[in-house]
């Protein structure tokens, strides 16, 4: 009788221990699976562009804004007409003009009649356009910035052989405008309609949202853009 009782207690004991061991094994495996899952999602996730692909209305069209409007926006940005290179240097020191380097979705061409500086508003806008272009082309393309801030002197030189540069004052002389080529994508000078259309849609959307003024400069095959 005593023997039977002992055996019974032993069996119950074994069962309890087995249950405990089973539970702890399951817990460990579950935790491992979770860690694995977290690890997988953090290492294999694609590096997403910080801007989502744009959605564009089929009615969206880019149109030319009058130069008067560009000028008004440029004058209101807090920089006087830039006469010389030393003016540019002064504005850079004062934190009113900022150096522009290649960024996501765009590259700055070697500039001959302007300097790669812009006011804060226009620089931010260039970043915005570049990031959107990067997102809309799945990070596979970039556009070219062909002109930025000019001094009155360089503007005058330019008007001699560029009928497109408006005689007299230009919004480039306020550090407020930049030109984007619509004939040079990925550094190649040739017609590229799909990329041109992508750029146009981005600009048209920003124009509709009242964030930029745009005018097409046919002669230099670029869009002249002033942030509002």
Point out which residues bind Zn ion (CB under 5 A). Answer: 179, 224
Q: Which is nearer to Zn ion, 201 or 222 (CB)?
A: 222
Helices 193-208 and 120-136, axial angle in degrees (round to 10): 130
Q: Which is nearer to Zn ion, 202 or 214 (CB)?
A: 214
* Contact present, 153 and 115 (Cβ < 8 Å): no
Minimum CB separation from Zn ion for residue 118, in Å? 12
How many other CB atoms are found less than 10 A from the CB of residue 208? 16
* Contact present, 211 and 114 (Cβ < 8 Å): no
Minimum CB separation from Zn ion for residue 40, in Å? 49
Q: Which is nearer to Zn ion, 135 or 148 (CB)?
A: 148
Minimum CB separation from Zn ion for residue 85, in Å? 19
Distance from C-alpha of 175 to C-alpha of 123, rounded to nearest angstrom: 10
* Contact present, 173 and 208 (Cβ < 8 Å): no
Q: Which is nearer to Zn ion, 136 or 179 (CB)?
A: 179
Q: Which is nearer to Zn ion, 121 or 224 (CB)?
A: 224
Query: DSSP 3-state helix, strand, coil percentages of the chain (rounded to 5)?
Result: 45, 15, 35
Minimum CB separation from Zn ion for residue 55, in Å? 29
Sign of the alpha-carbon torsion through 74, 76, 79, 84: positive
Q: Which is nearer to Zn ion, 122 or 137 (CB)?
A: 122
Minimum CB separation from Zn ion for residue 176, in Å? 10
* Contact present, 115 and 83 (Cβ < 8 Å): no
Q: What are the residues facing 106 on neighbouring strands?
A: 103, 143
Minimum CB separation from Zn ion for residue 139, in Å? 27
Minimum CB separation from Zn ion for residue 147, in Å? 5
- The residue with its CB nearest to Zn ion is 224
Q: Which is nearer to Zn ion, 137 or 175 (CB)?
A: 175
What residues have CB less than 8 Å from 40, skipping those under 6 apart? none
Cα 29 to Cα 15, 36, 44, 45: the distances in Å are 21, 10, 22, 24
């Amino acid at each position: 009788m005593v023997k039977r009782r002992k055996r019974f207690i032993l069996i119950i004991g074994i069962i309890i221990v087995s249950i405990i061991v089973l539970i702890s094994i399951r817990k460990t495996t579950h935790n491992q699976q979770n860690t694995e899952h977290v690890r997988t999602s953090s290492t294999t996730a694609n590096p997403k562009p910080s801007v989502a692909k744009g959605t564009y209305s089929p009615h969206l069209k880019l149109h030319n804004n009058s130069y008067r409007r560009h000028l008004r926006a440029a004058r209101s940005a807090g920089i006087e007409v830039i006469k010389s290179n030393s003016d540019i240097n002064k504005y850079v020191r004062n934190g009113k003009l900022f150096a522009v380097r290649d960024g996501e979705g765009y590259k700055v061409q070697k500039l001959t009649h302007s300097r790669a500086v812009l006011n804060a508003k226009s620089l931010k806008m260039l970043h915005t356009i570049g990031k959107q272009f990067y997102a809309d082309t799945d990070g596979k393309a970039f556009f070219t910035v062909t002109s930025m801030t000019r001094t009155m002197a360089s503007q005058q030189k330019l008007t001699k052989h560029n009928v497109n540069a408006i005689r007299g004052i230009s919004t480039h002389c306020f550090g407020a405008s930049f030109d984007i080529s619509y004939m040079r994508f990925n550094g190649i000078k040739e017609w590229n309609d799909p990329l041109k259309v992508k750029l146009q849609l981005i600009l048209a959307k920003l124009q509709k949202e009242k964030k930029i003024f745009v005018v097409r400069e046919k002669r230099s095959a670029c869009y002249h853009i002033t942030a509002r």
